[in-house]
């Protein structure tokens, strides 16, 4: 009888140990909410160029020219020194496609840069441009400037919704 008693105690102890260790591994609680919140808070936004690479990997865009600092200033009046990071990619003359992501360095300059970006959209929406690119008119008219923190972005594309989702996620570090 003493042997059976020891077996029962041994099995009970082993079962208790397995239950205790099997439920371990998450020091923040059963829900893991603290861990998830910590990961979200630690998420670093992707650079504009990294986001653009994700876009090019997910969508087939027409040939795009990526503007440099001089191009931004000379053609659009956007001073690149106000930006911490940017991608300003536009298609050739027969497509209206644009992928523009501007990370403004100083919050005080966001409205100025947004105004300049608005002028880009206004220029593309002009009757002359819409007449010049009639098959592109719908995607131009559907476009709007989006803002997330100090980042501004404008997407003109038939795939705008999906591209904007990639940008949003990239700006959140996803």
- Check residue 149 and give left, alpha or beta (phi > 0: left; psi -120 to 50: alpha): left
Q: How far apart are alpha carbons 22 and 69 in whole angstroms?
A: 57
Mean predicted lDDT score pLDDT of the chain = 84
Say if CB 104 and CB 113 are below 8 A apart: yes
pLDDT the model gives residue 22: 52
Question: Minimal CA–CA distance to 51: which of 96, 82, 86?
Answer: 86
Q: How far apart are alpha carbons 152 and 133 in whole angstroms?
A: 25
Domain boundaries, the chain: 2-41, 45-171
Q: How far apart are alpha carbons 157 and 139 in whole angstroms?
A: 6
- pLDDT for 19-67, tens place per residue? 454 555 444 444 444 445 445 555 899 999 999 999 999 999 999 999 9
pLDDT the model gives residue 43: 84
Selected residue with higher pLDDT from 16 and 57:
57
Stretch 128-146: mean pLDDT, rounded?
93
């Amino acid at each position: 009888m003493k042997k059976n008693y020891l077996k029962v105690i041994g099995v009970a102890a082993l079962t208790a140990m397995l239950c205790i260790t099997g439920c371990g591994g998450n020091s923040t609680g059963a829900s893991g909410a603290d861990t998830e919140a910590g990961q979200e808070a630690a998420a670093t936004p992707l650079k504009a160029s990294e986001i653009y690479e994700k876009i090019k990997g997910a969508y087939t865009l027409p040939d795009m020219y990526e503007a440099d600092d001089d191009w931004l200033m000379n053609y659009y009046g956007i001073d690149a020194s106000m930006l911490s990071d940017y991608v300003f990619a536009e298609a050739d003359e027969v497509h209206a496609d644009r992928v523009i992501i501007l990370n403004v360095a100083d919050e005080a300059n966001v409205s100025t840069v947004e105004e300049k970006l608005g002028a880009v959209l206004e220029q593309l929406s002009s009757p002359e441009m819409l007449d010049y690119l009639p098959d592109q008119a719908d995607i131009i008219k559907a476009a709007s400037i989006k803002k997330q923190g100090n980042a501004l972005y404008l997407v003109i594309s038939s795939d705008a919704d999906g591209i904007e989702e990639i940008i949003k996620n990239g700006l959140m570090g996803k």
